[in-house]
């Protein structure tokens, strides 16, 4: 009888175990999370994980963040780890000096209210943060994160709408990432904080409130997105479209529209500006033979220009059936009036037009 019980019990356990496991796997695990919440979660998890991590910036503590990205963090971690600064951007990087970083091992996150204000501190970002490890022959590392909204918003005019992807992407010693979705935002901010190098995280104000489904892996506290790896958001065969940040969404919209006309676009979300994942782009171009780059920044010396140059230098050039095309912001300081602003940023129609031109349709 006991033997019989064992004989029955084992398989039953196995079956119920299997059912249990399958139940976990098939349970609805994806969660709707906005980009803002994702960055908040990422920072919260890293603050919890490592005591050396702290956040400083204007209005990040008691105000909960100018754009509410750091909401709740000051309540949770207090004055020591979430620091409201005076309006003194130049001092943010210096407030977390490389040598202090090295000897005390501190890992600051500096929030710029927008990257336009980072120009006040850009000397420190480049000359003190980016170049130090090199200049010191490997003695002093600078584990610092600079983050904040980058690029155009809505109606904030010329001095508050500039995209700094090309400016920061230009400099060796820096890593530069540009998340689009919530998954990107969470994974990249965590990787940036854990990275021992200065990382510039270019967020986007208009994306902060946009919800995305966060897959179950991304909900783990150890979810990281590697810096330097692009993601193919949509597979396609006719043309490769490469974008970063908010324009990735526009590209996916364009791809949906063109799909109805039988044109299948492969949309690549760059995720990292520097070091750029040119291999993913090359692989895609060798498949589709056509390339369109899309960015919010100005055309001259921009991200798209760099992609085009590198494609020409590599194996993918011989696979191109048409010159690569760039879709960018208009080459003007951002105007305020709505009609002018709308025409100064890349719209879905501009992307569609460029794709059709390059496909000679």
Partner 1 sequence: MKKMLTAAVSRVLSGVTQKLASRVLVASCKYSNNATFEIKKCDLYRLEEGPPVTTVLTREDGLKYYKMMQTIRRMELKADQLYKQKFIRGFCHLCDGQEACCVGLEAGINPTDHVITSYRAHGLSYTRGLTVRSILAELTGRRAGCAKGKGGSMHMYAKNFYGGNGIVGAQGPLGAGVALACKYKGNNEVCLTLYGDGAANQGQISEAYNMAALWNLPCIFICENNRYGMGTSVERAAASTDYYKRGNFIPGLRVDGMDILCVREATKFAADYCRSGKGPILMELLTYRYHGHSMSDPGISYRTREEIQSVRSKSDPIMLLKDKMVNNQLASVEELKEIDVEVRKEIDDAAQFAMTDPEPPLEELGHHIYSSNPPFDIRGANQWIKFQSIS
Q: Closest distance between partner 1 and the C-beta of residue 348, in Å?
A: 11
Question: Between residues 153 and 197, which has the closer beta carbon with respect to partner 1?
Answer: 153
Question: Between residues 160 and 229, which has the closer beta carbon with respect to partner 1?
Answer: 160
Q: Is the peptide bond before 194 cis (omega within 30 degrees of 0)?
A: no
Q: Closest distance between partner 1 and the C-beta of residue 96, in Å?
A: 17
Question: Between residues 275 and 299, which has the closer beta carbon with respect to partner 1?
Answer: 299
Query: Is residue 323 packed enough to be buried (19+ CB in 10 Å), middle (13-18) or exposed (0-12)?
Result: exposed
Q: Which of 160, 170, 253, 264 is catalytic?
A: 160
Name the site residues for partner 1 (rule: CB under 8 A).
58-59, 62-63, 66, 84, 86-88, 90-91, 116-117, 119-120, 153-160, 299, 325-333, 335-340, 343-347, 350, 353-354, 357
Question: Between residues 150 and 280, which has the closer beta carbon with respect to partner 1?
Answer: 150
Q: Which pair of tokens denotes residue 169? A: 């992407």
Q: Which pair of tokens denotes residue 274? A: 């520097």
266 catalytic, yes or no? Answer: no
Q: How far is residue 110's CA from residue 2's CA, in Å, rounded to a whole number? A: 66
- Reported in sequence order, the residue ranges of 150-300 that DSSP labels E, i.e. its strands, are 175-177, 199-203, 211-214, 231-234, 239-243, 265-269, 272-274, 291-294
45 catalytic, yes or no? Answer: no
Question: Between residues 43 and 354, which has the closer beta carbon with respect to partner 1?
Answer: 354
Question: Between residues 214 and 325, which has the closer beta carbon with respect to partner 1?
Answer: 325
Q: Closest distance between partner 1 and the C-beta of residue 346, in Å?
A: 5
Q: Which of 37, 45, 46, 89 is catalytic?
A: 89
Question: Between residues 129 and 334, which has the closer beta carbon with respect to partner 1?
Answer: 334
Is the Cα dihedral 68, 73, 74, 79 positive or negative? Answer: negative
Query: Is residue 322 packed enough to be buried (19+ CB in 10 Å), middle (13-18) or exposed (0-12)?
Result: middle
Query: Is residue 1 packed enough to be buried (19+ CB in 10 Å), middle (13-18) or exposed (0-12)?
Result: exposed
Contact by Cβ (8 Å): 190, 224: yes
Query: Is residue 98 packed enough to be buried (19+ CB in 10 Å), middle (13-18) or exposed (0-12)?
Result: buried
Angle at CA of residue 312, ends 320 and 314, nearest 5°: 95
Q: Which pair of tokens denotes residue 330? A: 């208009």
Adjacent-strand bridge partners of 201: 147, 177
Contact by Cβ (8 Å): 198, 175: yes
Three-state secondary structure call for residue 303: helix
Query: Is residue 335 packed enough to be buried (19+ CB in 10 Å), middle (13-18) or exposed (0-12)?
Result: middle
Q: Closest distance between partner 1 and the C-beta of residue 84, in Å?
A: 6
Adjacent-strand bridge partners of 156: none
Q: Which residues are catalytic?
A: 89, 160
């Amino acid at each position: 009888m006991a033997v019989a019980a064992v004989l029955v019990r084992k398989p039953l356990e196995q079956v119920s175990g299997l059912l249990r496991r399958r139940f976990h796997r098939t349970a609805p695990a994806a969660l709707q999370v906005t980009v803002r919440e994702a960055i908040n979660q990422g920072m919260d998890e890293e603050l919890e994980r490592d005591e050396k991590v702290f956040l400083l910036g204007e209005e990040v503590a008691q105000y909960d963040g100018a754009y509410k990205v750091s909401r709740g963090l000051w309540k949770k971690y207090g004055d020591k780890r979430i620091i409201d600064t005076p309006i003194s951007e130049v001092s943010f990087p210096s407030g977390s000096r490389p040598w202090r970083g090295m000897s005390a091992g501190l890992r600051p996150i500096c929030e710029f209210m927008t990257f336009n204000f980072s120009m006040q501190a850009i000397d420190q970002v480049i000359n003190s943060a980016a170049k130090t490890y090199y200049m010191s022959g490997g003695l002093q590392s600078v584990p610092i994160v600079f983050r904040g909204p980058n690029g155009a918003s809505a109606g904030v005019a010329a001095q508050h709408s500039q995209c700094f992807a090309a400016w920061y992407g230009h400099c060796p010693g820096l890593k530069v990432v540009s998340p689009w979705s919530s998954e990107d935002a969470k994974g990249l901010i965590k990787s940036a904080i854990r990275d021992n190098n200065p990382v510039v995280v270019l967020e986007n104000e208009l994306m902060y409130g946009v919800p995305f489904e966060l897959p179950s892996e991304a909900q783990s506290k150890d979810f990281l997105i590697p810096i330097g790896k692009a993601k193919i958001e949509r597979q396609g065969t006719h043309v490769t479209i490469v974008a970063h940040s908010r324009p990735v969404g526009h590209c996916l919209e364009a791809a949906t529209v063109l799909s109805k006309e039988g044109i299948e676009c492969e949309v690549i979300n760059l995720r990292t500006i520097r070091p750029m994942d040119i291999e993913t782009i090359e692989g895609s171009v060798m498949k589709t033979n056509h390339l369109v780059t899309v960015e919010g920044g100005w055309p001259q010396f921009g991200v798209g220009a760099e992609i085009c140059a590198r494609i020409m230098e590599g194996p993918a050039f011989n696979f191109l059936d048409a010159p690569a095309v760039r879709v960018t912001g208009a080459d003007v300081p951002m105007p305020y009036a709505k009609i002018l602003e709308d025409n100064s940023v890349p719209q879905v129609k501009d992307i569609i037009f460029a794709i059709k031109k390059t496909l000679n349709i």
